[in-house]
Amino acid sequence: MKQLKKSAKLANVLYDVRGPIVDAARQMEEDGQKIIKLNIGNMAPFGFDAPEEIQQDMIRNLPDSAGYSDSKGIFAARKAVMHYTQQQGIEGVTLDDIYLGNGASELIVMATNALLDDGDELLVPMPDYPLWTAAVSLSGGKPVHYLCEEDKGWLPSLADIRAKITPRTRGIVVINPNNPTGVLYPDDLLRGMVAIAREHNLVLLVDEVYDKVLYDDAKHTAMASLSTDVLTITFNSLSKAYRSCGYRAGWMIVSGPKGDATDYIEGLNMLANLKLGSNVPGQWAIQTALGGYQSIKDLVKPGGRLRRQRDLAYELITAIPGVSCVKPEAALYMFPKLDPVMYPIADDREFFMQVLRETRVMLVQGSGFNFPDNQHFRIVFLPHEEDLREAINRIAKFLERYRARFA
């Protein structure tokens, strides 16, 4: 048979977080080597357990979970999400505006599929969480990357967003708190983005899966609470704040002037019906999670495990000569920079493959987040302090050898 080819729509799809570097690490593990994995925000393998209350409620509801649910999800969970929007100051959300899905991921792909015609453009941050660029491409759209500026604390450049709007632009993707930079956006900036969307009649697609993973008393503002006159689709899930990514329990909220978007909303409903609902046991977890004890606060407060690991990772990584980093205020990641004079790198994918081979530490290079300068990487600070220390010490030694050879 002739070689079976993948579709051209996959040409822009990057998934290095789970891609070739993970295959190489797996091969090394099969050869008996132990790898420290700093490549993915998967919390459970690092001992961050889902709250027991959530597990118990899922178990109790399992006998009622064998049938398909309503396409948009079970009532109790959507009601809990509706109450959550009220706590966040988002106006006018009804049960009908809430869709449950197998994680935020599935809903992100659904929302872009319903929105984009071939060649339509969506503004996506750079660096990005690569699912967004992939979802736009798979939907037949064109991802257009707007710059987040490192010297301004990785905040999106409003000027760059404006400069990249064309007659084909349909919307702006906002990831706040951000993956991979760990940055939280101030209200002024969010208002600036809302103003641009208003002026150009664009949809806001807002990914807030880290909205409760906040350090140093940082406060997150739900963008939809500021964009009451702009159609806004907000995505969230239990994956991070409730350490439950395996339950695949996410939600999407439509807010703003819905009357102007009835056709788009019909498209969302069609796609929700096509997928026949999402994982029902995971849906049962949502009400308990949102209404129960918020144990994430214990992890992020001073002395909490995530906070300690963030501080340690930041301190050790920025102590390496020629490594700079914006300190994350949120999420589970940092996006440090390697000085290009001290560390000339022609191909960052090859460079971090070499890091893996020599140090047995797996990281993802900046180009995996659609950031093309070859000088960045993302570090996940989920391992216990001892493992983080070991991993970053190995990286520091690797970089010392690299400096000696190439600088």
Ligand X SMILES: Cc1ncc(COP(=O)(O)O)c(C=O)c1O
* 175 touching ligand X, by CB under 6 A: yes
Hunting for tokens 């809302």 — which residue is that? 194
Residue 330 three-state SS:
strand
Draw the binding track, 276-315, toward ligand X (x: CB under 6 A; -: no contact).
Answer: ----------------------------------------
Positions 228 through 257 that interact with ligand X (CB under 6 A):
237, 239, 245, 250
Q: How many residues belong to the site for ligand X (CB under 6 A)?
A: 13
The first and second tokens of residue 326, run together, are: 């914006």
39 sits near ligand X (criterion: CB under 6 A): no
Cα distances (Å, whole numbers) of residue 200 to 176, 256, 294: 21, 15, 39
Is residue 190 at the binding interface for ligand X, with CB under 6 A as the rule?
no
In 165-289, DSSP assigns E strands to: 169-175, 203-207, 232-237, 250-255
Distance (Å, rounded) from C-alpha 341 to C-alpha 406?
A: 9
State the minimum distance, in angstroms, from the CB of residue 237 to ligand X. Answer: 3
Closest separation between CB of residue 220 and ligand X, Å? 13
Least distance to ligand X, CB of residue 239, Å: 3
Q: Which is nearer to ligand X, 360 or 378 (CB)?
A: 378
Asked whether position 179 contacts ligand X by CB under 6 A, the answer is yes
Site for ligand X (CB under 6 A): which residue of 129, 264, 351, 371?
129
Among 16, 207, 211, 329, interactor with ligand X by CB under 6 A: 207
Helices (H) and strands (E) in the chain, counts: 13, 15
Say what the alpha-carbon torsion angle 39, 42, 45, 46 is, to the nearest 10 degrees. 80
Options 65-73, 100-108, 267-275, 276-284: segment touching ligand X (CB under 6 A): 100-108
Element (H, E) at 333: strand 333-334
Asked if 329 interacts with ligand X (CB under 6 A), we say no
Based on CB atoms, which residue is closest to ligand X, 249 or 316? 249
Q: Compute the distance between CA of residue 206 and CA of residue 225 in angstroms, rounded to an integer.
A: 12
Hey, which residues does 122 pair with through a beta bridge?
143, 171
Structure tokens at 348: 């960052």
**Chain residues that interact with ligand X, rule: CB under 6 A:** 41, 103-105, 129, 175, 179, 207, 209, 237, 239, 245, 250
